[in-house]
Amino acid sequence: MSMTITEKILASHCGRAKVRGGEFIEVDIDVVFANDITAPLAIKKFREWGGKRVFDQEKVILLPDHFTPNRDIKAAGQCLLLKEFARQQDITNYFEVGRVGIEHILLPEKGLVLPGDLIIGADSHTCTAGALGAFASGVGSTDLAAAMIIGKIWLKVPSTIKFIYKGKLKEWVTAKDLILYTIGDIGVEGASYKSMEFSGEVISGLSMAGRFTMCNMAIEAGAKNGIIEPDEITLQFVQGRNKRDYSLYHSDPEAEYLEVKEYDVSRLEPQVALPSLPSNTKGISELGEIHIDQVVIGCCTNGHFEDLRIAAGLLKGKKVHSQVRLIIIPATPLIYLEALKKGLLQVFLEAGAVISPPTCGPCLGGHMGVLGEGEVAVATTNRNFTGRMGHPKSKVYLASPAVAAASAIKGRIANPEEISRSQPHSLDSY
Amino acid sequence: MSQDKKVLQGKAHKFGHDINTDYIISGRYKFKTLDNEELARHLLEDLNPHFYEHLSPGDFIVAGENFGCGSSREQAPLAIKYARIGAVLAKSFARIFYRNALNVGLPIIQTDTENIEQGNELVVDLAKGKVFITKKNLSLAIKPFPSFVLDIIEAGGLTEYFKKYGGWKKNSV
């Protein structure tokens, strides 16, 4: 029986030989996680239901990453709830500030989510982990509470749209541009309730960071999950991080797809999503002159070391435009440390950027870079909804770290090609 | 489902497509509080700053495609529920919002909302699966729920469902 990778993972977690799109199933969960925004509600439900113990202290993970370090007394109260619950339940993987990072980047980095896993997180960007060849999907707090108690969840098996990327990417065109282009093509509900399977030679050529970026934004097209089949690059990433066994699944050649979409991306230029939908995408040459007040490089979409490296390559020896704030947010403490060791932080500081501790912060208008009325930002984040980063009359343009860094220098949305490099191959020296 | 929940009546408040969770309840508020009444006062305020003040209990939110897209925040359906909205009617719903709404006991109805206009009085009969636009004397069909989802709605949300059945009903999924 032919199946997609998503169907295989779901079948293996409900003890069936075969599942089909549209079926309702109850599956065993390998990892359940929540953050300082979603966990408090889940904990409240957990107690309302008379929950005594979580189903498995190793498999339930709590990460206060959104408005930490605590932005105010109310946020501190939410985090305290998490901490007390974690202590009471002997949760093995509770990450305090200083050890916590943005959940969707920290979990793979720590080897806590692995290929073949079934992962449920109370955050819509849980789909990021699909880049490992896992099934990962976001839920709300009530579903999470149930999952914490019983270690199971009901799911409708999604049908899959397969995306095949062919060709060779131009310089400065990255995974972020591929996914923005894709969402621009299919729309914000183009994959509603579906699985998005990313494949083809271009995907095979992406690093894990790039693959995480692709899967991260599957939700912006309404998808239930984004997924990439594991290969050598996946195994290299996982080996040495994993503390338990994992399973590798691949789609059968005869697997059924709802639709197969092929893109030749050889001529693709850097993409920008204009306010106020991630699907409102244009090639950077079509934009015209857009002046900016703030640039954010970070977030669960683009807070990887590789993203910071690209930004530093452009910023080395340059200055952030006098009217612009550049906020750099390494996604995890380890990425922060790497950026320190490799000299990236010095490049950022000398350019006039500010470096934030790991946090989701400004992406959803929390702290560490909230926009004022009428302000415009370029961000490597994933959502540009009205008011997302602050004032309802502020605007967010979504782009890659390369476009973001170039824009910070120019004071307007800029193509990285416009930035002359201070020394040849400066990018490679990191 | 209790008798009073079967037939809902109220006024339509019309919105467009892709009403995302940041519109429904901004991230500026959701992390600050577990107080649903406070969240409700900020419902949809970035689209209409006085929306909450203009609501009567039982009114409906009526929208186009992809209602509730964006984040997984359960505060979104909670803010709607605690604003005493009777139900949300839309052409389609985003996946996570759909689950969350059912889980917290907010009735959501998938139907062709094209003919519903701002301010129209609506009668929604969940049992019969009909939406009636009084002024136009027009009935719209509701897309039916899978049977175990109906069980959750009838219980009034997942919490009440769990209390009623002590877990998942056998062969429910």
Domain-by-domain residue ranges, chain A?
5-263, 273-429
Query: Could you give the 3-state DSSP secondary structure of residue B91?
Result: coil
pLDDT of residue A50: 87
Asked if residue A209 lies in contact with residue A305, where contact means CB atoms within 8 angstroms, the answer is yes
Neighbour-count burial of B50, counting CB atoms closer than 10 A to its CB (0-12 exposed, 13-18 middle, 19+ buried): exposed
CATH superfamily of A273-429: Aconitase, domain 3 (3.30.499.10)
- CB-based contact (8 Å) between A43 and chain B? no
User: From the list A143, A219, A388, which residue is nearest B22 (CB)?
Assistant: A388
Give domain status of residue B22, yes or no. Answer: yes
DSSP designation for A421: P
pLDDT of residue B172: 54
DSSP designation for A373: T
H helix intervals, A89-231 = 103-109, 141-150, 175-186, 201-204, 208-216
Rounded to an integer, what distance in angstroms lies between the CA atom of residue A235 and that of residue B18? 38
- Which residues of chain A does B155 touch, with a Cβ-Cβ cutoff of 8 Å? none
Give domain status of residue B23, yes or no. Answer: yes
Query: Could you give the 3-state DSSP secondary structure of residue B61?
Result: strand
pLDDT of residue B26: 86
Strand ranges inside chain B, DSSP E: 7-14, 60-63, 87-90, 108-110, 121-125, 130-133, 138-141
Using one digit for the tens of pLDDT, what is the confidence trace for A249-262? 999 999 999 999 99
Q: Is B18 left (phi over 0), alpha (psi -120 to 50) or beta?
A: left
- Check if CATH label 3.30.499.10 holds for domain A5-263: yes
A residues 46..85 contacting B (CB < 8 A): 48-49, 66-67, 72, 74-75, 78
Asked if residue A108 has a cis previous peptide bond (ω within 30° of 0), the answer is no
- CB-based contact (8 Å) between A37 and chain B? yes
Give domain status of residue B93, yes or no. Answer: yes
pLDDT of residue A427: 47
pLDDT of residue A331: 98
State the residue range of the domain holding B43.
3-165
- Which residues of chain A does B67 touch, with a Cβ-Cβ cutoff of 8 Å? none
pLDDT of residue A421: 61
CB contact under 8 A, A386 and B31: no
Which of B86, B71, B15, B155 minimizes the C-alpha distance to A138? B71
What are the angstrom distances between the C-alpha of A214 and each of A177, A232, B50?
9, 18, 38
* Optimal mutation site among B72, B158, B159, interface A, most CBs of chain A within 10 A: B72
| Mean local confidence (pLDDT), A216-232 | 98
Rounded to an integer, what distance in angstroms lies between the CA atom of residue A10 and that of residue A7? 5
- CB-based contact (8 Å) between B13 and chain A? no
Rounded to an integer, what distance in angstroms lies between the CA atom of residue A378 and that of residue A26? 41
End-to-end CA distance of chain B: 20
Confidence (pTM): 0.93
**Could you check whether A5-263 and A273-429 share the same CATH topology?**
yes
Using one digit for the tens of pLDDT, what is the confidence trace for B69-85? 999 989 999 999 999 99
Q: What is the ipTM of this complex?
A: 0.87
Residue A219 pLDDT > 70: yes
Mean model confidence pLDDT for chain A: 96
- CB-based contact (8 Å) between B68 and chain A? no
Asked if residue B13 lies in contact with residue A56, where contact means CB atoms within 8 angstroms, the answer is no
Give domain status of residue B171, yes or no. Answer: no
- Which residues of chain B does A366 touch, with a Cβ-Cβ cutoff of 8 Å? 27-28, 31
pLDDT of residue B33: 65
DSSP per-residue letters across A312-332:
HHHHTT----TT-EEEE--SS
Residue B48 pLDDT > 80: yes
Query: Could you give the 3-state DSSP secondary structure of residue A294?
Result: strand
State which residue of chain B sits closest to A218, comparing Cα positions. Answer: B70
Q: Which residue has the higher pLDDT, B3 or A201?
A: A201
Residue A425 pLDDT > 80: no
Give domain status of residue B29, yes or no. Answer: yes
Q: How far is B46 from chain A (nearest CA, A)?
A: 6
Give domain status of residue B46, yes or no. Answer: yes
pLDDT of residue A163: 98
Binned at pLDDT 50, 70 and 90, residue B31 comes out as low
- For chain B, how many residues are written? 173
pLDDT of residue B30: 59
Q: Percent of chain B scored above 90 by pLDDT?
A: 65
Which of A358-362, A394-398, B26-30, B139-143 is least confident? B26-30
Give domain status of residue B126, yes or no. Answer: yes
Q: In what order do the strands lie in the sheet with A259-264?
A: A225-227, A195-199, A160-166, A259-264
What are the angstrom distances between the C-alpha of B148 and each of A10, A182, B107, B156?
20, 35, 15, 13
CB contact under 8 A, B72 and A25: no
A18-22, B1-5, B65-69: which is most confident = B65-69
Tokens of B131: 């939406």
CB contact under 8 A, B46 and A387: yes
Tokens of A51: 């929950």
User: From the list B30, B72, B92, which residue is nearest A123 (CB)?
Assistant: B72
- Which residues of chain A does B99 touch, with a Cβ-Cβ cutoff of 8 Å? 139-140, 143
Asked if residue A162 lies in contact with residue A257, where contact means CB atoms within 8 angstroms, the answer is yes
- Which residues of chain B does A150 touch, with a Cβ-Cβ cutoff of 8 Å? 167-168
Neighbour-count burial of A411, counting CB atoms closer than 10 A to its CB (0-12 exposed, 13-18 middle, 19+ buried): middle
Binned at pLDDT 50, 70 and 90, residue A426 comes out as very low
Rounded to an integer, what distance in angstroms lies between the CA atom of residue A303 and that of residue A311? 11
A residues 229..248 contacting B (CB < 8 A): none
CATH assignment at residue B81: 3.20.19.10
Rounded to an integer, what distance in angstroms lies between the CA atom of residue B144 and that of residue A218? 27
Query: Which residues, 6+ apart, have CB-to-CB distance to A236 below 8 Å?
Result: none
Rounded to an integer, what distance in angstroms lies between the CA atom of residue A172 and that of residue A178? 11
User: From the list A142, A219, A365, which residue is nearest B104 (CB)?
Assistant: A142
- CB-based contact (8 Å) between A294 and chain B? no
Tokens of A126: 């849980």
- CB-based contact (8 Å) between B94 and chain A? yes
- CB-based contact (8 Å) between A183 and chain B? no
- Which residues of chain B does A45 touch, with a Cβ-Cβ cutoff of 8 Å? 159
Using one digit for the tens of pLDDT, what is the confidence trace for A15-29? 999 999 988 899 999
Asked if residue A92 lies in contact with residue A110, where contact means CB atoms within 8 angstroms, the answer is no
Using one digit for the tens of pLDDT, what is the confidence trace for A326-381? 999 999 999 999 999 999 999 999 999 999 999 999 999 999 999 999 999 999 99
Asked if residue B137 lies in contact with residue B83, where contact means CB atoms within 8 angstroms, the answer is no
CB contact under 8 A, B69 and A188: yes
Residue A231 pLDDT > 90: yes
Binned at pLDDT 50, 70 and 90, residue B32 comes out as low
What total of structural domains would you count in chain B? 1
Q: How far is A339 from chain B (nearest CA, A)?
A: 29
H helix intervals, A153-304 = 175-186, 201-204, 208-216, 232-238, 299-302
